[in-house]
Structures are given as C-alpha cells and as structure tokens.
Amino acid sequence: MPGKKTLQVVVGSRVGCHEFWLAPIRDDCIIGLDLLTRWGACVDVAGPALCLDTETVALQSGRSVESQPSEARAGDNQPSSVGDPPIVPAAVPLRAPEGKIKEAVEELLQRSRQHLSPQQSGQLEQLLYEFVDILAARDEDCTQTGLVQHHIETGDAQPIRLRPHRLPLAKRQVAEDLIQAMASNGIIEPSSSPWAAPVVLVKKKGGGWRPCVDYRRLNAVTKKDSYPLPRIDDALDHVAGSSWFSSLDLRSGYWQVELTPEAKPKTAFTIGEGLWQFRVMPFGLCNAPATFERLMERVLNGIPRDRCVVYLDDLLVHASDFGGALKNLREVFSAIRQAGLRLNPAKCNLMARDTMFLGHVVSGQGVATDPGKVAAVKDWPTPTTISELRSFLGLASYYRRFVRNFASIASPLHRLTEKGRAFGWTQACDAAFQQLKMALVDAPVLAYPYPQQPFILDTDASNVGVGAVLSQVEGGAERVVAYYSCSLNRAERNYCVTRRELLAVILAVRHFRPYLLGSQFLLRTDHASLTWLLTFRQPEGQVARWLEVLQEYRFEVQHRPGHRHANADALSRRPCAEGMCRHCQRQEEREGSEPAMVVERVSGPTGLCVAAAELHSRGGGPSVTSSAGQAAGDHLFTRAQLRQQQAADPALAMVKGWLEAQQCPDWKTIAAEGPEVKVLRSQWNNLECHKGVLHRRWHAPGRGTDLLQLLVPRALRAEVLQMVHGAVGSGHYGNAKTWKRLRQRFYWPGCRQDVELHVHCCDTCTAQKGPSQRTRGPLQQYLVGAPMERVGVDVLGPFPTTDSGNRYVLVAMDYFTKWPEAYAVPDQSASTTAQKLVEEMFARFGAPGELHSDQGRNFESRLFREVCHRMGVRKTRTTPLHPQSDGLVERFNRTLATQLAILTDRHQRDWDQHLPLVLWSYRTAVQESSQCTPAALMFGRELRTPVDLVFGAPPEPEIVGGMELDYYRRLRERLQVVHDLARQAQKNAGVRQKRAYDNRCYGGTFQVGDQVWVYCPVRKRGVSPKLNSHWRGPGSVVGRLSDVVFRIRMPDGGKTVVLHKDRLAPYHPLISTGGGGGGESASAPGDGSMDNIGSVPGPSTRPEGEGRPVRSRRTPGHLRDFMLGDGVSGDT
C-alpha cells in the first residue's frame, strides 16, 4: 500500500479522528467497518442513511469518487457525499498549526493529558485543532469583539492634562519603539485630545519594557459603573457535583474590547513627543472590570451556569463526565469564536479532575477551602521564644470573640508570658496552642465571602515578613474570610519601612484578587504614610509597577493605630518554620535601609552619562537603570549629535564658522551681535575644534595641565545643570561645589551665574535647607479692657502619671488681669476639657466673652464648639503651628513647668499636689505689663500670703457707716483706679514690645496669586526630622485676611489653609539657562547680562509622598468630635 494518514471525520454532529490506508481499490465494497464499529453506527442501504446513536445522517449519491478525500463537512441531518454505489464519508484532513501557536497548543495538550486515556486525549486534541483559530500565542494575533464597547462617563468634568514624566534618555528610544509597535498593531492611534496622562516604563518579568499609563486622575472624575458581579457562593453552587473542569483565560482580554468614539480621547497619553489615544480598552481604568464582566456574560448568554461559570476573567467549564465536559467545552469554544475573542493557551487548563477557582479547590468530591488561605495560621510553627508566643497570642486575642472559652483555652499560654517566668513549653501549652489554631481556622472565624458587601483588608509588614487578613462585617462584627502571610527575602528586608508596607499591600491584593477585583474595599494599615497611596506623584520603577497593579481596584485607605492592628501585625511577624533558614532574623528592632545604589561614571567625550544600579524587590540581581543617560557603555550624545546641537545654536555656529575659516573677526564686525558672541570672541585663543565639536581650553588651577571644556549649546544647558546638581553621584551642594564640578567638563558664557541661579531655585534644596529669603511679620496687638473679656486656654503635658491618675494640666489665663487657672486632668479629650472649664472656671468667674486657643483637636471638636455656643462664648484660634498667637498662655506654661520642676525634682508623681501653691504665688506677683498683681485686678484686693501671717497684713482704711454699701462703693472705686492704671500700663508695654519685635521683622508682603513656600515642621512617627524636608511648595496665595494672615492653597491642588506670614517664604521657580553674559572673562563687553532668558518652571524634585491626599476620607468613629489635620488646618 502507498501509505497511511490520520484524518478528521465529520458526520453530522459527530467529529473524530481515524487512521486511513491509501490503497488502489477498484471493486465495489463498503469500507470503514472499524470506524462504524467504534462509533456504534450502521448503514441503512435502503435510505440510504447512516444511523448513529443520537441522529440519522442521510447519504447522497455522487457521480464519482476520488481516491483522495475531499474537504466537505456534513451539517446536522444533511446529506453527505458518497460514491455510487460505494459509500465513502467525506473527511477533513487533520491540519496541524504552525509557528508559535503550534508550540503553545502542544504545551497545552501536554499539561491536559496527565489524567486522560489515549482515546480521551485524541478527542481533546481533535477539538483543539478544530478551534485552533481562537487561540493566540501573541498579542498581535488578537482581534476586537463587537459585543460591547467601553465608555468613560466623566460628566461635566474639565479635561485633565498632566505633564509627561521625564524619561531618561536611555528609555526614550525604547518608549518610541513601543508606541510604534502598539500603533502598528492597532492598539493606539494619534490623538488631538485635550486630555493627557503621563506614561511610566516598567520592566516586564520576562525582560523588556511595558508602557503604563497613569489614569488615577481620570478615574477620580469617572462615574463608577454599578454593573453587578455574580455571587461567589452562587458560582460554587453550580460547580458542585462536577468531575471534569476546564479553566480558560483570554489573551490580553482588555485589549479585545473596543472603546466608544467618545471615550477614546479621554485615554490620551504622551511620553513627551506626540499625543496618542487607545482604540481598545486599556489597563488601569476603574470601570474596566464591570465592562469585562458584561462582555463575558453576553458571550456566554446561551450557556447555562451548570455548564460554564464566569466571574470576570475566570471561566470554568465543567461537567460530570468526560463526554459532557467535551461537549460543553465545544459549546464555549463556539461562543468565543462567534464573539471574535482569543484565548491564551499558556494560561488555560483543560479536562482536569480538580482545579482552583475563586479561591476554592473544586473537584469531584465537592468544593473545599483552599489550603493556602489558612496555611498562615494552620502551619504556624510551635513558638520557641516569648516574642513568638506573644505574636501568636496577639492574633488569637484579636478574634477571641469567635472562640468559645477562649480564656480557659489560652490560660497555659498566657502564664508563659508573665513577668519573671522562665519559658518552658509543656504538653498543656502545646495542647492549648493546637486547639487555638484549629479554632482560628474553623467555620466560626473563616466566614463565607459576600461580594455585595465591602471587604476589609488589613495589611502589615515587619522586618521578617508581611501579613494580611481579609474580612467582612457580619452582624455588626468583623468575620475573617482568609489569612495571608509571607516571609521576606534578603532584598526585601532591606526595604525602608514605607516600601515594605506598600509591598504588603501589593502581595495581599494579588493574593486576594478573586475577592477584591471589581469590589469596593477598605484598606487598613498602621503605617500613616500609605494614606497618600492614591495621590503618589511621578512614580518610577518598582513603585510605578506596584501602583499600576492598584489602579484597577476601588478602595479607600484608612490608618489604624498599631495597638488596634494586631491581626495583620501578628501574621507579618510569624516565625519561619525552617530551622536552617539563613534569612530568618527574629530581631524586630532591626530596621532596613533603602535599596542599595551603585553609582558609576561612564567615561566618554562628553561625560554626560551617570548610571545607577538598583537592587529591585523580587529579582535575583541588580538591574541597571539610568538617571541621566543611557546604560553603562553608551554615551548620552554621540559626536554627531553634539555637532548637530552646536550647529543649531546661533552663537556657537557663528564661532565654529570662524574657527573653520581660521579668521578672527574684529570688534567692529561683531558690534551688533549679542553678549554671548562677544564673550566667545574675547577668548579666541582658547577656543578649539576637535572632530567637529567646539571646546574651550582652560588651565585648571592645582593640576598643572589644561582641560578641554565642552561648549554647551543653549538647548542642553538646563540638562547639564541638572546633572551636576541633583543627579546620582552629584548631590545637592552649594554654589561653589556645583560650579567647580561643572567647570571640569563644561563651559558657556555666564555659566557661573546660571549655576547660582539653578542652585538658588532648586526645589529639593529649598525644601530641605529652607528658603534663603524668609519673612517675619510685625507684631499684632490685641488690647483688652476688662476682666474675663478674653481668656486663653492650652494643655500642658504630658507629665508622669500621678497617684491620682493625672497626666496633663489644663491652663486658662485672663488676658486683662493675668489671673491664671490650672487644673490637673487625666487626659486632654474634648469632654474632659469642656467639663473642667465649665465646672471650675465658668462657675466661679462667669463665662468669658472670648475663648482663645490653639488648633488642638480637643479645642476644635464639635463638643467644645457646642459648649461655647451654648455659653455665649466666642471661640477663636491661632494659625497652625504658630504658638506666638497665644503668647500669654505659652509664656505662663513655661513659668508653670519651671516652678513644678523645682518643687518635684526627685518625686515626680505628686506634681498635681504642688499645683495650687504655684498658682497662689503667681496670683500675688506683680506683673510687668500691668504693674499690678492678678489678684488686685481680679478682686480689688491683695491675697494674704505667708509673709502677711508672719509680719502682719498692711492696714486697710476704716470704713464708717453702712458697711456693705460703703464697702461695695469703695471696692468699685478701687477697681476703677486699678483698672485704669493697668490699661495705661498695658498700652505702654504693648507699644514698647511691638517696637522691639518689629525691629526684627523682614521680608515684603504677599499678594493674591503669589507663589510661596510653606513651613510644615510636623514630626511623624518613624520619620527622622533630620532626614525630613520641612518646607513644601509651591503654594499659592488665594486670599489676604490681614497684614500677617493669608489664605494659602497647598501644593499640588491641595486644600486651602489659613497661615501666618512667619510660616511663608517667597517661591522662586527654576529659570531656564539661556546663556547669560560674562562667564569668566571680564574684558568682553556685555559681561554679566542675562538676555532672552525664558521663564520655564523646572522639574519638581521634591521627595515623593509628601503631598496629602486630596480625596475625602471618612472620619473614624472615635475621632468624630475632632477636626483632623497634619499640621496645617483647613480653612473651616
């Protein structure tokens, strides 16, 4: 026989593969008996028809029969081509795919054949080859479906146009190549949209780069899509009882969805050159999950959920037997083909007996909980130290309300933590430990997830690991859905605290993706710096990749103190179970540092390249990124590029022409030229041209040799200044060091003045060192004329807790009489403060006309304001972080603290008992401003002191007649005289103090629209003030309330605050270097001029993460009475 071949046979709805022999048969006969036997089919010659189990296919006579099978397919109950009289069913040859898709299909088949028989494997292979057109091994092989289009509804929001992030020169060509590739594949197209978003290049896991568009500002104004997501428990109910499972994944599913014409302009982005917009749905849009769920439900609309379950991008085809599973898979493949979608064969898993779906293990035995969810607690190793035991007890105690008889079970473990007890692990301890672990992972703790209810994600990071707890509120209490814990590798342990906390969020979100994607959830952390997570400015590298992961989620960040964050904190400190783990460090006091930076200067003709190698998070070795140039070994500019840049500069092009012609022009010829040309002409003997590039020969002092300085064209001067001041390896030094660094390699006329201007306008230097030009406002006087007209209050402390439980001193002082009141209180809450003032001061002296305080949360609470309102007291406050506005009370606080320190030098737990004696002495002391004692001004008489008891009190004038009436008249006259004297003395003292204070004032005033620096000396926990920048800018003046008080809009479009002039300084934007005259030569005319300098704001290099989030946040319940802030209070 000539040979044999395996062919595909299609008869009716039955499809299969069969082996055919090629033979020259001339006699009439019926062939295919083995195939008919295999299918259980018989031939009805009278029909003629082919009878199968479930259908009958009519046979049709043909004129001739070819020995080579034809490619004809029979439809359902349609005639098939047969010979006359021979019967030969038409067969479709088995066409194997080619190229990359062939490798992908073979790999998919290899994974899926593990639990299949040869016959089942053949049927699955035939199905794949039949639907090979719906498989895509590359993104460019995908098409777009027409079932749905993604729309971006922004209402009446104004277009948001953001400046592009500055890309290193080494990445510019990479970004351009990626853009061109996406354009050629039909993913993006040129745009003229008013919208624009920046792009960040991030490294792919397998190498290469991927552009990530930052759509956070667009998402903030987008109306959220409320398309419902299916219930996870309902999906699992449909899957239960099945034994065969196939999980499917789309190839770049978002890119297979088209955008509406109105939505395309809103996705516009730029890398600095050109403006592009997406034609398909990009990653990072907040409503993308809802659109994708809507698409998948339309695609599978005719397929019931007992055959295929879909949840966002997770598809699970299932059945109770292999035949049904194959039939259901064919049905789903047909629906995907009809919708025009493509699958990713690398992420599909076909005909498995058990698989992971929505965080559960689905198998023929039913639906079980994923062991990985509770492994963090279930596999907790036996504690070997007190600290490890306390970590476990902290987690268990957090959920003690769900564990019956928790105190009895945990009592052996709690006894081990008692002070002075040696650590000894007994059988009772081990039994309690195991019982608590089982109780934590039992049903009462691990609740069933409800996607319609918001999730709560608690994350925390320690020096050794990260932990997370996913929970929901059920019945008014938090119920745990799943635990997560992961140890950190060596590189991750070197992260700073903030980066480790952000890593914990990323790992937890990835782990709980089936629950969190498409749902609103609350992210709780004990690290306050993560509250800026949604407003991070100009992210790069690893942080940019992490923030891109979070863009498709909808969540709110809430800070929670560490003592209330014990659940995630304990998981992050879970000890390592491997005894020989060389990474395990159980010293919690050890803190990591920032990723190591290896700096290398690349030698070359320009010296413009500085490369930095950064150790990234989960990779094995360092990846080299460039901060100012290309990777090591490449030059920032080739000689051809430098020649081109110099030729584009008018002054340098003119000088180069003189050098090439070897003709030095006289001064009359260049009289009409600018100062830069004249400066270069004056240094004619030092100018040289090397390989077409202009240089200046300069004798370096102290070296004994000459250096060649590159003549920098005007277009590159700003970039050179940024490299010598602020780039990696250059640092932020002053004028002298920066100038000396620049002149080693570069020169242009006026470069020294440009260096001084660049350093003076550097935002990073100003934020850290403070503005060189500051302001100080004049003294503002507030004169009062009667007792209790104005009272100042403040809280002093905390002090050591006394035996009575007091820690603070509530201080109140009358502005006119200087009469002080001080009350020892246990805390400084709003209720304690208000109650003490009403019961102690207002009840004795009456309510004051005005109550003045700082912006403490207790004084700004709703409760305190309501008390003042009901008492008829006008409440005023100081400007933020400006205690001079309440100087009377602040000065008395210092006096009070000094006197208490003298009386309680050794025994500091009874300071509240000495408080009345200090007040007594102060009330009887003559005040310099009023020349009277507070007691005389308040009561019209002096208080008796121990001096009076020893030597006797001074005699009072005798009052004759009606005692009460005469005493009242005499007291009024005495108070009138004393008050008049006090008013005059205070007025004179005020004039004298204002003259002395105003002599130290400096700086001009500010007008509406001016840009200013804002001083924010707020200390945050975990942040060293020596390494923190206290100046933020630029803010803008939006209102002038007085000569010294202004309404300021904080940087980056933040909130509006009211600040004192002392906390402001003028902001000087970075001016582009246009080539000022002068340089180093003083002989040329025009030196020192700075002509044609454009005002271009320089790039902001302020440390990331300083800006406060501009979104609104829900106030926690225990802080409902307070006005929250971080050092600058809002304009309320």
* Per-residue model confidence as pLDDT tens digits over 623-647: 333 333 333 333 456 778 888 888 8
Q: Is residue 610 within 8 Å of 599, Cβ to Cβ?
A: yes
Residue 217 CA, chain-centre distance (Å), reads 13
Q: Residue 798: pLDDT above 50?
A: yes
In the three-class reduction of DSSP (H, G, I as helix; E, B as strand; rest coil), residue 1038 is classed as strand
Round the average pLDDT of the chain to a whole number and report it: 74
Rounded alpha-carbon distances, angstroms, from residue 231 to 250, 295, 302, 508: 21, 17, 19, 21
Kindly report the number of other CB atoms within 10 A of residue 490's CB atom. 10
Residue 902 has what pLDDT?
Answer: 83
d(CA 809, CA 802) in angstroms, rounded, equals: 12
Q: Which residue has the higher pLDDT, 37 or 585?
A: 37
d(CA 524, CA 509) in angstroms, rounded, equals: 12
Rounded alpha-carbon distances, angstroms, from residue 308 to 129, 238, 248, 335: 21, 9, 10, 11
Q: Domains plus CATH for the chain?
A: 3-93 (no CATH), 104-366 (3.10.10.10), 371-534+543-572 (3.10.20.370), 597-626 (no CATH), 639-762 (1.10.340.70), 790-977 (3.30.420.10)
CB < 8 Å & 24+ apart, contacts of 911-917: 911/799, 911/800, 911/802, 911/824, 912/802, 912/804, 912/806, 912/824, 913/802, 915/809, 915/822, 915/824
Q: Is residue 57 within 8 Å of 74, Cβ to Cβ?
A: yes
Q: Residue 326: pLDDT above 70?
A: yes
Q: Is residue 584 within 8 Å of 464, Cβ to Cβ?
A: yes
- Determine if residue 958 is left, alpha or beta; phi over 0 gives left, psi from -120 to 50 gives alpha, anything else beta: beta
Residue with tokens 């971006």: 152
pLDDT tens digits, residue range 296-324?
888 888 888 888 998 877 789 999 899 99
Number of C-alpha atoms within 13 angstroms, CB side, residue 802?
Answer: 20
Q: Which residue has the higher pLDDT, 776 or 194?
A: 194
d(CA 281, CA 795) in angstroms, rounded, equals: 56
Helix or strand run (H / E) with residue 508: helix 497-511
- Determine if residue 247 is left, alpha or beta; phi over 0 gives left, psi from -120 to 50 gives alpha, anything else beta: beta
Residue with tokens 């003032």: 837
Q: Is residue 602 within 8 Å of 635, Cβ to Cβ?
A: yes
The two structure tokens encoding residue 74: 């029979």
The two structure tokens encoding residue 200: 């960040």
d(CA 93, CA 420) in angstroms, rounded, equals: 83
Nearest alpha-carbon partner for 896 in 888, 886, 885: 888
pLDDT tens digits, residue range 236-293?
767 766 888 998 888 888 888 999 999 999 999 998 888 999 999 998 898 998 998 8
Rounded alpha-carbon distances, angstroms, from residue 1081 to 286, 1018, 1078, 1093: 59, 47, 6, 20
Residue 408 has what pLDDT?
Answer: 64
Confidence band (pLDDT; 50, 70, 90) for 372?
low
Give mean pLDDT, residues 418-440. Answer: 83
d(CA 757, CA 725) in angstroms, rounded, equals: 12
d(CA 501, CA 665) in angstroms, rounded, equals: 66
Give mean pLDDT, residues 932-960. Answer: 71
* Of 615-624, 762-771, 886-895, highest mean pLDDT: 886-895
